[in-house]
Amino acid sequence: MRAVDIIIRKRDGLALTREAIDTFVDGVTHGTWPDYQASALLMAVCLKGMEPEETLWLTEAMVRSGERVDLSDLGAFTVGKHSTGGVGDKVSIVLAPVVAACGGVVPKMSGRGLGHTGGTLDKLESIPGFRVGLSIPEFKAVLRDVGACMIGQTATLAPADKKLYALRDVTGTVESLPLIAASIMSKKLAEGCRALVLDVKCGSGAFMKDVAHARALAEAMVSIGTRAGVRTEAVITDMEAPLGEAVGNAVEILECLDVLHGRGPADVRLVTRRLASRMLVLAGLQPDDETAAAAADQAIASGAALERFRRMVERQGGDPRVCDDPRLLPLAPGTVQVTAERAGFVTAMRALAIGQASCLLGAGRDAVGDPVDHGVGILVRAKPGAQVAAGDTLLELRHRDGRGLEAALALCREAIAIGDEAPAHRAKILEEVR
Ligand code: URA
């Protein structure tokens, strides 16, 4: 089957056969399809879409392009979580130890930040010594002892996705529902979890800008997971404004520690509690949402979740003293405030612009492999809905020697709107797909 014929078929809006999709993924994995043909097919998929069956075949072919982690010898019902990416989204870092403290086993392979969204691995690496590059045997040993372990994707997992994602990133083909669904689900299926809860972000700071698109993505991924034999559900959560009050790396770890200590922003606690409940129910550890949520609350109140986090940090080479002494985290010394120009209510705090501003300060990267500054970031001092007086602090930027500061300040000012009336309440949890 010639590559050009497969491209033409999709260009003309026709469905591809399983064989054609296998040929494409195989060609990308082994380098027999040149980048220009792979990119042409990606663009055709982006413009013409895929049927659910084609998306499933694409996902399965991408899983088969590499290894599938076998976690069956852990003797536990493993339950994973994945977020489609947002600004200030540090939920995994709190959630994994909470679920582990409730008896769950949470193998978490995460990504790095790219574009305006932050990455769990970059955040964790702001803990001195923390290693995200464990081997699979090391990963399993930590899971056995602690119940939670958070590492980077190994090179052998869904290698076709690595190549395709890199091509999509530079050919304007990231924003495609079937390509996003297959990319995420191929990695999740290769990770070997038996259940999976997806946090599909929706709003200005997310790939999916409105609920209809977020729902379609959630349904596609739930369908792929279920058909592959993994109990899969999705929760659609708001990403119009940043989640929590910290955006960056070390500043987000600080916020996670706050939540694990029983404090922290209400929205982070709410999303964590909801996802934890569904993970515990899906794993068969709790009978219903109510008891599951109570178990998650108790795990935090008793200090059991913090203890799991401490053990996970220690087993992954990090300094566990950060749990009680956040001064060990590398915070950048410079601070600048963005203040309210007038009195009123904060009606908008656009996540996309805040995420971009944080990247400009150095918390994110422009290209894969760029270093990040763990110490810089943005603290949200007035969330949407807050009533402020002229001159009140809205945001605090932590910078290093003024790097990126001017442009970041301009973006932050654009991100905020102040009006005369309080904005309508925006729920953080928008919908669920089961
Ligand atoms: N995250 C992924 O892993 N893949 C995508 O395509 C989008 C977000």
d(CA 374, CA 248): 7
Please report the atom of ligand 1 found closest to the CA of residue 111.
3
Q: What angle do CA 209, 356, 198 make, to 5 degrees?
A: 45
Give the Å distance between the CA of 166 and the centre of ligand 1.
Answer: 11
Q: Does 299 share its domain with 382? A: no
Residue 169 has what pLDDT?
82
Site to probe by mutation for ligand 1, drawn from 120, 121, 184, 186 as the one with most ligand atoms within 8 Å of Cβ, is 184
Which residue minimizes the CA distance to atom 7 of ligand 1? 180
pLDDT of 111 strictly over 90? no
d(CA 126, CA 51): 42
Give the Å distance between the CA of 30 and the centre of ligand 1.
Answer: 21
Residue 42: give its domain's CATH number.
1.20.970.10
- 85 pocket-lining for ligand 1 (C-beta < 6 Å): yes
Specify which of 81-90, 110-119, 359-368 reaches the highest per-range mean pLDDT: 81-90
Mean pLDDT on 117-127: 93
Q: Does 223 share its domain with 361? A: no
Last residue of a domain, one of 308, 323, 338: 323
Q: Does 354 share its domain with 300? A: no
Mean pLDDT on 17-36: 98
- 109 pocket-lining for ligand 1 (C-beta < 6 Å): no
In-domain check, residue 259: yes
Residue 412: give its domain's CATH number.
3.90.1170.30
- 358 pocket-lining for ligand 1 (C-beta < 6 Å): no
Mean pLDDT on 4-27: 98
Last residue of a domain, one of 268, 299, 323: 323
Strand partners, 238: 202
Q: What is the pLDDT of residues 27-68, one digit of tens each?
A: 999 999 999 999 999 999 999 999 999 999 999 999 999 999
Mean pLDDT on 256-283: 98
Mean pLDDT on 310-331: 97
User: Predicted confidence band at 369 (pLDDT cuts at 50, 70, 90)?
Assistant: confident
Site to probe by mutation for ligand 1, drawn from 198, 207, 224 as the one with most ligand atoms within 8 Å of Cβ, is 207
pLDDT of 283 strictly over 70? yes
Give the Å distance between the CA of 319 and the centre of ligand 1.
Answer: 31
Residue 211 has what pLDDT?
97
In-domain check, residue 54: no
Residue 170 has what pLDDT?
87
Residue 303: give its domain's CATH number.
3.40.1030.10
List active site positions.
82, 161, 168, 183, 187
- 183 pocket-lining for ligand 1 (C-beta < 6 Å): yes
Q: What is the pLDDT of residues 137-194, one digit of tens each?
A: 999 999 999 999 999 988 899 999 999 988 998 899 988 999 999 999 999 999 999 9
Residues composing the chain? 434
d(CA 25, CA 7): 13
Q: What is the pLDDT of residues 74-94, one digit of tens each?
A: 999 999 999 998 999 999 999
Residue 155 has what pLDDT?
87
Strand partners, 432: 235
Site to probe by mutation for ligand 1, drawn from 45, 161, 165, 168 as the one with most ligand atoms within 8 Å of Cβ, is 165
The pTM of the full predicted model, rounded to 2 decimals, is: 0.95
Q: What is the domain count for the chain?
A: 3
Q: Does 150 share its domain with 205? A: yes
User: Predicted confidence band at 281 (pLDDT cuts at 50, 70, 90)?
Assistant: very high
Residue 114 has what pLDDT?
67
Q: Does 228 share its domain with 335? A: no
User: The domain containing residue 150 runs over which residues?
Assistant: 72-323
In-domain check, residue 67: no
d(CA 114, CA 218): 21
Spatial contact of 8 and 41, defined as CB atoms under 8 Å apart: no
Residue 118 has what pLDDT?
82
Last residue of a domain, one of 264, 290, 323: 323
Q: What is the pLDDT of residues 200-246, one digit of tens each?
A: 999 999 989 999 999 999 999 999 999 999 999 999 999 999 999 99
Q: What is the mean pLDDT of the chain?
A: 96
Give me the percent of the chain exceeding a pLDDT of 90: 93
pLDDT of 116 strictly over 90? no
Q: Does 222 share its domain with 282? A: yes
